């Protein structure tokens, strides 16, 4: 799954690897958000709170992806 937020208050669009269409998260009733990743870190998502479980700088795969994006790879 890949989600895209147009802004911090927008409903996310979801790209499911099993389909070719984007759908809004409210249309994807088979999903449960467990983790979220941002430029600030990795978050464990809970019903009433989000808990930061890692700093983004410590996530080597995330840092490698950002570097590839910056380099146009």
pTM above 0.75, yes or no: no
Other CB atoms within 10 A of residue 14 CB: 19
Query: Distance between CA 46 and CA 42 in Å, rounded?
Result: 13
For residue 49, which phi and psi values (nearest 5 degrees)? -160, 160
- The residue ranking higher by pLDDT, 2 or 13, is 13
Q: Look at residue 67 in the predicted model and tell me its pLDDT.
A: 86
Q: Look at residue 52 in the predicted model and tell me its pLDDT.
A: 83
pLDDT band, very low/low/confident/very high, at 28 (cuts 50, 70, 90): confident
pLDDT in tens, 30-70: 888 787 777 777 888 877 777 888 877 777 877 888 889 88
Query: Distance between CA 60 and CA 73 in Å, rounded?
Result: 17
H or E segment and range at residue 63 = helix 60-71
Domain spans in the chain, listed from the N-terminal domain onward: 2-71
């Amino acid at each position: 799954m890949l989600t895209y937020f147009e802004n911090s208050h927008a409903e996310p669009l979801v790209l499911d690897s099993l389909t070719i269409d984007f759908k809004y998260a409210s249309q994807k009733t088979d999903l449960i958000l467990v983790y979220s990743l941002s430029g600030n870190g990795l978050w464990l998502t809970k019903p009433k709170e989000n808990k930061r479980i890692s700093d983004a700088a410590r996530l080597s795969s995330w840092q490698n992806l950002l570097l590839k994006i910056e380099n146009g790879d």
